[in-house]
Amino acid sequence: MNYRKLTDNEIKILEFNGCRADDWTKIEVRENFRPEKCRNVRFSGKVRLGVFEKDVVDSSGVTITSGIENAQIHNCIIGDNISIYNVHDYIANYIIDNESVIRNCGKIHTEGSTSFGNGTEVAVMNETGGRSVRIWDRLSSHLAYIFALYRHRQKVAGRIEDMINRYAERQVSDRGYIGKNCRIVNCVCLRNVRIGSFARLESVLSLNEGSVNSTPEDPVFIGPGVIMEHFIINSGSEVTESTVVEKCYIGQGCVLGKQFSAHNSLFFANSQGFHGEVYSVFGGPYTVTHHKSTLLIAGIFSFMNAGSGSNQSNHMYKLGPVHQGVVERGTKTASDSYILWPARIGPYSLVTGRHLKNIDTSLFPFSYVVENNRETILLPAINLISTGTIRDQMKWASRDKRKDPAIIDYLNFRYLTPFTVNRMIKGREMLIILKENCLKEKDNEFCCYNKNLKISFTAVDKGIELYSMGIDKYVGDGLIKKLYGKSFKTDEELRNILSVEADGGRGEWVDLAGLITPRTKVEELLKEIESGDIKSLEEIALRFRFFSENYEKWEWDWISGYLERETGKPAESFSAADIIPVIERWIKSINCLNEKLFDDAGKEFSVSSMTGFGIDWDEEDKLADYRQVRGIYDMNPVVETIRREVKEKSAIADEIIKMLESIRN
C-alpha cells in the first residue's frame, strides 16, 4: 500500500481532537485518510494508518464506528476501517488488518522477538520430558504420535525436531498480528500473540506467547476469564469460562471450558475438556473429559470418554513421575475408575473399578476391564455386542466440528479395521491357548493371562466366539463391498473384481492417533525422513493425506491376504466355491451379532430402566412418561441403523450368492 506524510491541516485536526504524537513526521497515512476519525489518541514510534470510510455492524445489529478513540498507539500498522476504542494502556508493535474491532482492552503488545508459540516444548506422557513434542501451527496428531512415541528411531525424532525448529525460526518477528475482521473486546492483556482472521476474543484475562490460527471459514473463540501461555490454538476451537492453559497445543474443532485446567498437553481434532484437569496428556482426536473430579495425566488417549472421578498414577515415589499410560482408541472409563501406570488398555474397552497393578490388555480389544476384590478381571470381546460401540462410531462422524477446508488430522471413524481385527485374531489365539492350559490344570473358574490379569473360563469361551464372529463380519463386509453392484458370470471375471489394486496392506497396521494405516507404509515414511528424502513438514503432511486416501485399497489387500490364508489358495486362484462359504459365515455372524445388539439395546427399555418415571402415577403413566422422554425402542436411531443394515445387507448377500451359485453350478 502507498502511504504519505500527514498534511499540516490533518495535524491541526488531529491536535484539535486531543491527539498527540512524539513526532508527527513518523506518522504516515493512506490517501483519503480522515483525521476527524481519531480522537484522544497518543501516537509514538512509527505508525501507519489506513482509511476510516466504513462502519461495522456487529452480530447484535449495533453499528460500530470506524476510527481510533481513547488509545495509545506505538509502532503499529493500522488497516482500513478499524475500530479501536478505549485502550486503557496501549497497543504496541502490532499489525492490525482491515475491519477489526478492539474495544475496552488493557494492553496489546509485542516485546522483543517471538515465534508466537511455535517451537514450544510440550512434555507429554512423561513429565520429565522424555517424550516432549515441539509444537507448530499445523501439528497433526499423526506427526505428534511419531515424534512422541517412536523415540527408538532417534534420527527420525531429531530430523522432525529440526524441521519444527526451522519453521519456528521463520515465524520469528518483533511485530504481532491481528487478522481481518477480528473482534477483541474487554480483554486485559495480550502479549506476543498472533491472531488469525475472524477470531473472537471476549473478556480474556491474559494471552501470552501464542498463535490463534483462526480462519474466515472456521473462526476461533476465546472467552471470559481465560489465561493461556505458550500455546497454539487452531481453527474452529473454543476456549472459554476461566479455562487455564499452559504449554498446550489445541487442534481444530476443540472445546475447552468451565474452569478446565491444562498443562503440557496436546489436544487434537474435536477434543473436549470441561471442569477437570489434564497434565502431560497426549489427547488424540475426540479425547473427552467433562467432569470436575476427573484427572487425566501422563497418558495417550483418543476417541475416549473419561468418566467422573477417573484418575491415574504416573509415579511410585521412587524415580519421579516417569511412568506412562497407553489407552487406545475408543476406550471409556467409568466413574471413579483408577489405573496404575504403566498400563496399556486395548482399543474400544470399558474400564471400571480401581486397578492397583500394572495391566496390559492390548491383545484384547472390545473388552470390559473390571475390578473384583482388588483384582483385575477381563471380559474379552464383550463390547462387540454393545450398542454403545455402534453409537460411538455414529456420533464421532456426526460431531466433527471442523469447517476449515484445510484439515490437519485425517481421521478414520470405523471400529472394525485391519488394526482392530489383527488384534482380535491375536486375542482369539491367546484365548484358545489359555483355554487349553485351563483344561490341563482343571481350573474351571479363572484362566490367568498373567499375574495381574485374570479371565474367567466362561469369559474365555465367550471371547473366542465373539472374536470369531467379529472377524467373519469384518471380512464379509469387505467382500460384499467389493462385489456389490458388479456383474460377473465366470470365475475369471470374479477374480478380476477381487484383484488387489495396491499392495502394502498385509501384515500389521497401526493407529497413528486417528489415522489407521499399514505399518509397512509408516516404515517407508520413517526411512525417508531418516535418509533426508523428506525434508519438510509439508511433505510429511502430504504423506499422511496419501495414507488416508489409500486406506480402502490397502484394506482390501489385507482382506485378500486373510482370504488366502483361510482358503489356502492364492488370490489369482479364487473361485465362486471359495467365496460362498465366506459370505455364508458373514450372514451367520451379522445375524448373531445384531441379535445380541438388539438384546443389549432392549435393556435400555426394560422395566428397571423406567424407575423414576411417571413419578406420581400408575404403571400405565410410567410407560407413557418414559416413552415421551426416552422414545420407543423401534424408533431409537441406533436400533433403526442396525435394523436397516441387516435388511440391506441381507438383500445384497442374497443377490451376490445367486450370482456365485450360478458360476459354481
> What does the pLDDT look like over 39-90, one tens digit per residue?
999 999 999 999 999 988 887 888 889 999 999 999 999 999 999 999 999 9
- Which one-letter amino acid corresponds to residue 470? G
Question: Who contacts 635 (Cβ-Cβ below 8 Å, separation ≥6)?
Answer: none
In the block, which residue shows the cell 445375524? 591
User: How far apart are the C-alpha atoms of 295 and 261, rounded to whole Å?
Assistant: 10
Element (H, E) at 24: none
> What does the pLDDT look like over 358-414, one tens digit per residue?
999 999 999 999 999 889 999 999 999 987 788 888 889 999 999 999 999 999 999
- Which one-letter amino acid corresponds to residue 282? F
Select the more confidently predicted residue: 394 or 3. Answer: 3
- Give alpha helix (H) positions in 174-245: none
Residue 369: count of CB within 10 angstroms of its CB:
27
524 neighbors 543 (Cβ within 8 angstroms): no
Q: What is the per-residue pLDDT for 22?
A: 94
User: How far apart are the C-alpha atoms of 231 and 137, rounded to whole Å?
Assistant: 10
The answer to whether residue 609 scores a pLDDT higher than 60 is: yes
Q: Which of 53-62, 189-198, 435-444, 523-532 is the least confident region?
A: 435-444
The answer to whether residue 443 scores a pLDDT higher than 60 is: no
Q: What is the per-residue pLDDT for 264?
A: 98
554 neighbors 517 (Cβ within 8 angstroms): yes
Q: What is the mean pLDDT of residues 607-617?
A: 73
User: How far apart are the C-alpha atoms of 193 and 240, rounded to whole Å?
Assistant: 17
Q: What is the per-residue pLDDT for 145?
A: 98
Q: What is the per-residue pLDDT for 446?
A: 74
Grid cell locating 266: 496436546
3-state secondary structure of 67: strand
The residue extents of the domains of the chain are 1-104, 388-573, 576-664
Q: What is the mean pLDDT of residues 499-503?
A: 91
Percent of the chain surpassing pLDDT 90: 77
Q: What is the mean pLDDT of residues 197-225?
A: 98
User: How far apart are the C-alpha atoms of 634 and 601, rounded to whole Å?
Assistant: 10
Q: Could you tell me the CA-to-CA distances from 415 to 390, 485, 557 in Å, in that order?
A: 8, 24, 18
* Degrees, nearest 5: CA angle 404-409-413: 105
In the block, which residue shows the cell 500527514? 6
User: Nearest to residue 53, comparing CAs of 72, 86, 92, 79?
Assistant: 79
Grid cell locating 118: 511455535
- Which one-letter amino acid corresponds to residue 43? F
Q: Could you tell me the CA-to-CA distances from 495 to 254, 471, 492, 500, 556 in Å, in that order?
A: 46, 22, 5, 10, 13
Q: What is the per-residue pLDDT for 304?
A: 96
- Which one-letter amino acid corresponds to residue 114? T
246 neighbors 262 (Cβ within 8 angstroms): yes
Question: Who contacts 563 (Cβ-Cβ below 8 Å, separation ≥6)?
Answer: 475, 479, 571, 574, 578, 582
Mean pLDDT taken over the chain = 92
Angle between helices 537-549 and 551-567 (to 10 degrees): 50
Residue 660: count of CB within 10 angstroms of its CB:
21
- Which one-letter amino acid corresponds to residue 151? R
- Which one-letter amino acid corresponds to residue 265? S
The answer to whether residue 209 scores a pLDDT higher than 70 is: yes
> What does the pLDDT look like over 266-279, one tens digit per residue?
999 999 999 999 99
Grid cell locating 426: 491375536
The answer to whether residue 642 scores a pLDDT higher than 80 is: no
3-state secondary structure of 528: helix
Q: Which of 370-374, 531-535, 559-563 is the least confident region?
A: 370-374
Q: How confident is the model at residue 482 (pLDDT cuts 50, 70, 90)?
A: very high
Q: Could you tell me the CA-to-CA distances from 442 to 67, 136, 241, 437, 465 in Å, in that order?
A: 86, 58, 59, 8, 21
**Helix, strand, coil percent content, the chain, rounded in steps of 5:** 35, 25, 35
> What does the pLDDT look like over 274-331, one tens digit per residue?
999 999 999 999 999 999 999 999 999 999 999 999 999 887 767 778 899 999 999 9
The answer to whether residue 635 scores a pLDDT higher than 90 is: no
For the ranges 158-162, 639-643, 644-648, 653-657, the one whose mean pLDDT is highest: 158-162
The answer to whether residue 601 scores a pLDDT higher than 70 is: no
432, exposed or middle or buried, with CB in 10 Å at 0-12, 13-18, 19+? middle
The answer to whether residue 627 scores a pLDDT higher than 80 is: no
User: How far apart are the C-alpha atoms of 500 and 601, rounded to whole Å?
Assistant: 38
DSSP 369-394: EEEETTEEEEETTGGGG-HHHHHHHH
The answer to whether residue 442 scores a pLDDT higher than 60 is: no
Q: How confident is the model at residue 633 (pLDDT cuts 50, 70, 90)?
A: low
Q: Could you tell me the CA-to-CA distances from 15 to 21, 35, 68 in Å, in that order?
A: 9, 10, 14
Select the more confidently predicted residue: 611 or 63. Answer: 63
Q: How confident is the model at residue 189 (pLDDT cuts 50, 70, 90)?
A: very high
The answer to whether residue 140 scores a pLDDT higher than 90 is: yes
Q: What are the backbone angles phi and psi of residue 637, rounded to the nearest 5°?
A: -55, -40
Q: How confident is the model at residue 252 (pLDDT cuts 50, 70, 90)?
A: very high
User: How far apart are the C-alpha atoms of 389 and 379, rounded to whole Å?
Assistant: 15
364 neighbors 459 (Cβ within 8 angstroms): no
Longest CA–CA separation in the chain, Å: 103
Q: What is the mean pLDDT of residues 602-630?
A: 73
Element (H, E) at 215: none
Q: How confident is the model at residue 444 (pLDDT cuts 50, 70, 90)?
A: low
39 neighbors 86 (Cβ within 8 angstroms): no
User: How far apart are the C-alpha atoms of 103 and 84, rounded to whole Å?
Assistant: 6
3-state secondary structure of 325: strand
User: How far apart are the C-alpha atoms of 268 and 281, rounded to whole Å?
Assistant: 11
The DSSP output letter for 114 is B
Q: What is the per-residue pLDDT for 440?
A: 63
User: Nearest to residue 337, comparing CAs of 380, 307, 374, 367?
Assistant: 307
Select the more confidently predicted residue: 452 or 182. Answer: 182
345 neighbors 331 (Cβ within 8 angstroms): yes
The answer to whether residue 665 scores a pLDDT higher than 70 is: no
3-state secondary structure of 146: helix
538 neighbors 462 (Cβ within 8 angstroms): no
